[in-house]
Amino acid sequence: MSEKNRLIPILEKGKVIALITFYIGNGNVSKYVRDNMWSVLEDEPKTGDTCYIDHLLAPGKHHHKYTWRVWRKLRMYIAREFPRVNLIRWNRIKGDKSNVHIRSLRRHSI
């Protein structure tokens, strides 16, 4: 993912507080669902309008206090590097249930 620039380290005071991997696509959600969750797929960085968050890794037991900072830095990076992207989409698993979250990138000022 790092070779494809699809890995974002989020830093706070010189420490890594999160690592995010993602894909840029055109609404074909099933393309990014795969058997091997660590496999790397081809995406559509030049034409894609949706950022699919693949993994968000936040080490430490106090990662929840960084949530808004991580989210803001992610939005800023995606808006700067992929100007065609309008949506950020991710699945949040809680217990045995998966919830899909979709947020507009343009709704908030950056």
- Write the CA distances from 46 to 20, 27, 54, 74, integer angstroms: 20, 14, 18, 18
| Contact in structure between 89 and 50 (CB atoms under 8 Å) | yes
44-65 residue pLDDT tens: 989 999 999 888 887 766 566 6
The answer to whether residue 1 is domain-embedded is no
Q: What is the pTM of this model?
A: 0.80
For residues 1 and 52, the model is more confident at 52
What residues make up the domain containing 98?
7-104
- Number of folded domains that form the chain: 1
The answer to whether residue 2 is domain-embedded is no
Q: Which of 13-17, 62-66, 67-71 has the lowest mean pLDDT?
A: 62-66
The answer to whether residue 80 is domain-embedded is yes
Residue 86 has pLDDT above 90, yes or no: yes
Q: What is the pLDDT of residue 33?
A: 74
Burial of residue 43 (CB within 10 Å: 0-12, 13-18, 19+) is buried
